[in-house]
Chains A and B, each alone.
Chain A
Amino acid sequence: MSNYEGKRVVVTGGTSGIGLATAKLLDAGGARVLVTGRTPASLTAAAAALGPRALVDDRDVADVDGLAEHAAAAFGGVDLLMLNAGATGGAAIEDTTGEQYDDLFAVNTRAPFFTVQRFVPLLPPGSAVVLTTSIANRKGIPGTSVYSATKAALRSMTRTFAAELVDRGIRVNAVSPGPVDTGILERSMPAEAASEFLAAQRAVNPMRRLGEPEEIAKAIIFLAFDATYTTGAELTVDGGASQL
C-alpha cells in the first residue's frame, strides 16, 4: 500500500461505490479524507468503513460554497479534489421531462463546474482534480441521451479546466468507468431492470465481467498522485468495452 500521509482529499459522492473505494484506499494510506453523500444508509456505512480521521458530510452537491468552507476549515488546502457525485437515470427521448433533464445536468455537470470554481483557491501547486465521467459520453446507448450528454459536457470541462489551471500547477483529468457493480443503478431503476442491464453489459464486455469499484479507485489515485505529466486526459476503465 502506498503512502498518502499528509494528503488532503475531498471526494464528492464518496460514501458508496467508486467514491468510497477511493476514499478507503487513501484513508488506509494515511490521507485525510472528506467524503460527501446523500443516502442516510450510505453515510452511516461510510463512516464505519473509513477510519476515525475521515470526515463525512451529508450536504447537497449544489451547496458548493458550504463544501468549500468545510474543506477549508478542516484541511486548509486540498491535494485531491475528486468529483465523483453523479446521478444516473433517463428515459427515451420522447419520455424525458424538462425536470429530469434539469436534475441530471444540475448534479452531473453544473455542480462539478461550480465545485471546481469554489475549490480553486484551496488547490496548491502540484494538486489534482479528477472528474468521474462515463464511457456513455462517447456512445449512443438508448435511453441515456441526457445522462450521456451531462458526462460529455464534464469530459469537455476536463480539458478547459486543465488549460486554465495548468499555469497554477493544478492537473485536471477524468476517469471514465465502464460497467461497474456499484449498486447505483438499483437506486434509479427497478431492481429487475438493473440486473438485466448489468447482465447484458457483462455479456458484451470484452472481459466478460463488470469492474470492481477498487479497480476504478486505483486509476483515480494514479491520476491524482502519479500522473504528474498528464492533464486534460480521460482514463478509460471499462474492460475494453469502448476501445475494442
Chain B
Amino acid sequence: MGRYDGKTAVITGGSSGLGLAAARHLVDEGARVLVTGRTQETLDDAAAQLGGRAIAVRSDTSSLTEIDTLAERVRAEFGTVDALVVNAGIGSFDPFDEVTERTFDDVFAINTKGPFFTVQKLAPLMTEGSGVVLTTSTANQTGWDALSVYSASKAALRSMARTLSRELLPRGIRVNAVSPGSIDTGKLEKEVPERAAELKAAFTASNPMQRFGQPSEFAPAVAFLAFDATFVAGIELVVDGGDSQL
C-alpha cells in the first residue's frame, strides 16, 4: 500500500538526476510513472532501476513533433494523467560575452518552450484534481556568474506557473513550481567537468546548510505539490538549503 497507489505520473527528464529521484519516490509509493529522456542508454538504466510500474520513453522536449508523439504515447499507456512533472532542462554556464545565438536558442527551447508545449499537449489528458509541477531553479531570482541564459529561461518558466495556473484551474488542474538550489545530481560534473570541483566548493561554502542537497530530498517536494497540495496554485517551493531565503 503506497500513498499514490493507482496514480499515473509523467516526468520529463525523468531518466536521471532530480527527475529520476522523483520517479523512484512515486513508484515506491505505488504510482505508475512514464519518464522521458534523450539518451537511450540512460533510459534503459532508468527503466531497469524503476521496475515494472515505470515506462521509459525517448523524447526530445525541444521538438514539438516529439511532444505530440509523447502525448499520444501517454494516452495509449495511461489514458489519463494525475501528475505531470515538467523537469527536462539543461544547464548553461557561458559568460555573457561568450553566449552565442545557438546556445541562447537551445537553452530556451529546452527549458522554456518545451515545458510550455508539454503542458499544452498533455493538459487534455489530465484529470480533475491533478497537478503540474515545473522544475525551475533558485537561479531565477539571483544573479550568478555565467548563468544569464539559464536563469532567464527558468524565470520565464516560473512565470508560466502563475499564468498556466490561472488558465488551468477552471479544469481543476493545479500548476506549481519546485525550485532546486544546489542538489548533487552529477550534472555539474557532466556539463562543466573542468569547473565542477570549483563550483561545488563555492556552492557548498555559501550554502546555509554547508552542503548540497540529495535528489531524494527534492523528490518529496515534487510529490507534495503534485498530489497533496490541493489548495496550492502558482507557487514556487524552494529546496535549496535556505540559500535564497536567508
Chain A residues proximal to chain B, CB less than 8 Å: 2, 159-160, 162-163, 166, 178, 206-207, 211-212, 215-216, 218-219, 222, 226-233, 235-240, 243-244
Contact = CB atoms under 8 A, between A and B. Distances in A.
28 contacts: A2-B3, A159-B246, A162-B242, A163-B246, A166-B208, A206-B165, A206-B169, A211-B231, A216-B231, A222-B220, A222-B221, A222-B228, A226-B221, A229-B181, A229-B239, A230-B238, A230-B240, A233-B245, A235-B235, A236-B232, A237-B231, A238-B231, A239-B231, A240-B232, A240-B235, A243-B234, A243-B235, A244-B165
A239 B221 CA distance: 18
A124 B181 CA distance: 25
B178 to A, nearest CB: 10
Interface size range of chain B in the complex: 35 or more
Nearest to A230: B239
A21 to B, nearest CB: 12
A147 B139 CA distance: 33
Nearest to B213: A229
Contact of B218 (A160, A229, A233): A229
Contacts of B201: none
Given A163-B242, A218-B230, 18 more contacts: A159-B245, A160-B246, A163-B246, A206-B233, A222-B224, A229-B217, A230-B237, A230-B240, A230-B241, A232-B245, A235-B232, A236-B232, A240-B165, A240-B166, A240-B234, A240-B235, A243-B162, A243-B235
Contacts of A233: 237-238, 242, 245
A218 B226 CA distance: 13
Interface string B3-46: 10000000000000000000000000000000000000000000
Interface string B171-210: 0001000000101000000000000000000000000110
Contact of B208 (A162, A206, A227): A162
B214 interface: yes
Contacts of B217: 227-229
Interface of B: 3, 161-163, 165-166, 169, 174, 181, 183, 208-209, 213-214, 217-218, 220-221, 224, 228-235, 237-242, 245-246
B241 A231 contact: yes
Given A229-B241, A230-B238, A244 B231 contact: no
A199 B94 CA distance: 52
Contacts of B163: 244
A244 B234 contact: yes
Closest 8 CB pairs of A and B: A243-B234, A232-B245, A240-B233, A229-B213, A231-B242, A211-B231, A215-B231, A229-B217
